[in-house]
A and B are shown apart, each in its own frame.
Chain A
Amino acid sequence: MTNGAELTVTGVDRAFGGVYAVRDVTLSVAPGELRAVIGPNGAGKSTLFALIGGQLAPQAGEVRLDGARIDRLSAHRRARLGISVVFQAARIFHGMTALENVMVGAHATNGAGFLAGALRLPVHHREERLIRERALECLARAGIADWADRPAEELPLGQQRALQLARALCAQPRLLLLDEPASGLRAGERERLATLIGELRAEGLTMLLVEHDVAFVMRLADRVTVLDLGGVIAEGTAAEVRADPRVIAAYLGAAPEETGPEAAAAAATATATATETQTATGGERDAGTAARAAEDQGQQNAGVREDSASARKGAEP
């Protein structure tokens, strides 16, 4: 049983060259909750994750884990506090086997230091054995046990993504950040991932999940936070968010008042249908189609993005 951590993000800002990627985001995730974060391309989802994981420091605001401030800590310290990340791009370690890749994840748990390794103290041997066992378990959980001794860079893309997840699990996290873990996966692999995420949730791990496949997200998450232009535009249960006119507008790339009621209703139905088709038939082909439709919508939005970005730039203090 994991005891999931509580995450509180208050008013965080992060800009790149005067353009806000994340602006005044406030978000609170209860222990054991699975929170989905959705939004069009460039909405700031990955940037928000980086602010929580420590790859970036916020320019304003606070990030707290179980009530303690962590926003000034380096990424490796945050990892030691129990935050694990599955990056959007598969960041794996080359020149090392899959097993070794996963063993690196164990760095986040307490461990023998530099000297213990250099002098081969007994603690080193004891730890190595434990870490290896745990890493093998994590590989198995992620469904890639057969690849353990292969060089990581030889794994197919889907397996590389699973490898990242196995590495994150090997850290025994209390907060897991999953940035589009299902992208590039085949339908069967997606199902397996959904099952694993469900298991982790049942174990009480707190998770944040970014995913463009809206159906995938809505099915798994307790609550959904919608980001657009770096800010939170809606938050609630899947049903609440789906009915929110601002969400519909964001996904269609138009302001609510400009959208006629018919268009909003059509968009709502489109999202809802995508979800329902998937839950009803459970058919992998349909789920895939829905996912692609959702992704296409995201891509369309990217065009509108350019203008909004310059608009945001003007708003810079």
Chain B
Amino acid sequence: MKRLGFGVLALLLVALPPLLPERHLATFVLLTLAAAVTVGVSLLMGYAGQVSLGQASFYAIGAYTAGLLAVHGTPPLLGLLAAPVIAAVAAVLLGAPLLRLRGHHLAFATLAVQLILLSLLAQADWAGGAIGLQGIPRFSVGGFELRNDLGYAYLSCGVLAIALLVARNVVASRAGRGLRAAATSEVAAAASGVAVGGYRLAVFALSAAFAGLAGGVYAFYLGYLAPGSFPVLLSIEYVVMAVVGGLGTIAGPVVGATVIVLLVQVLNTLGTQPGMPDYAPTVLNYAVYALLLVVCVLFLPKGLVPALDRVRRGSLDKARSIR
């Protein structure tokens, strides 16, 4: 059943891009990258019991790492590989002192880090300042250059696939077992030799690495980066995507990202209708995120994917009892 789900998803990711009209391809790329970031957020929230309200800062760190390296002549592939590494290192530096503390320290700290990062970036002339970093070359490996959106659609699909695969492996491995154990009894997990704090830090670093890798692709795709591309709203969007899709599930982030991106598209169309004030799209976005979170917490506390699973199992049971 699990394998089937993966197969369908893989098929969809491979078959869909060429069928999409050019103007929807951009949405597809951004959706896929957002899903890859959300895989990390979902892992962090579902398995380490921590929330990051600044995940977009790791997306930004990855993007700027890849962008700056490429602008200074480093081969794009190296830049793309450096993006997750630098993001993960940043997460370790931030998380090591914070994950020891319980509760919402990480949430607040990541939010603060994002605000600080945004203001630093706006003042950093070497990174383009508030105007932004321009002239990032297109992604290329050897002599082969990715020029059109279709290429980037596949590149971001690759990133999403890697994130999903690694997340699944972690969950099903010894470390994932330790994390799941710590969720019911931290004391008994530690007494069994599980380095709970270390594992949580590793999950945080991994989630940052996913965000960094996605950010790297984003840099090459747009060719231009500005602090304004990484608002706090984006971080909140990832959290909403993770919660709506279902924490601790593999398909959740993909489902959550798709639902939210499509919804945002509709809202943007609505918000940019003639006669609407120019702050309408932002206000609508915030309102919908808030609404979705409330609805989810009230009616689908485990998110869409587990809820759908239940419905499906329920109908199976019914079918059986009828027979």
Contact = CB atoms under 8 A, between A and B. Distances in A.
Nearest to B176: A117
A121 to B, nearest CB: 10
A229 B173 CA distance: 45
A290 to B, nearest CB: 31
Question: Which of A76, A92, A108 has the largest count of B CB atoms less than 10 A from its CB?
Answer: A76
Question: Which of A93, A94, A113 has the largest count of B CB atoms less than 10 A from its CB?
Answer: A93
Closest 10 CB pairs between A and B?
A117-B173, A108-B193, A107-B193, A79-B193, A91-B188, A75-B190, A93-B181, A94-B184, A114-B202, A91-B185
A118 B173 contact: yes
Interface string B183-217: 11101111111111001001000100000000000
A276 B242 CA distance: 63
Nearest to A93: B181
Report the contact-size class of chain B (Cβ under 8 Å from the partner): 20 to 34
B181 A117 contact: no
A109 B170 contact: no
Nearest to A90: B188
Given A107-B194, A117-B175, A124-B174, A55 B187 contact: yes
B91 to A, nearest CB: 14
A119 interface: yes
A117 to B, nearest CB: 3
Nearest to A80: B193
Interface of A: 53-55, 74-76, 79-80, 84-85, 87, 91-96, 100-101, 103-109, 111-114, 116-120, 124, 127-128, 131, 164, 167, 171
Nearest to B182: A93
Interface of B: 166, 169-170, 172-178, 180-181, 183-185, 187-196, 199, 202, 206
A53 B191 contact: yes
Contacts of B194: 76, 104, 107
Contact of A107 (B166, B178, B180, B187): B178
Question: Which of B169, B172, B173 has the largest count of A CB atoms less than 10 A from its CB?
Answer: B173
Given A108-B192, A120-B169, A124-B174, A75 B187 contact: yes
A93 B188 contact: yes
Contacts of B185: 91-93
B219 to A, nearest CB: 24
Contacts of B196: 76
Nearest to A50: B187
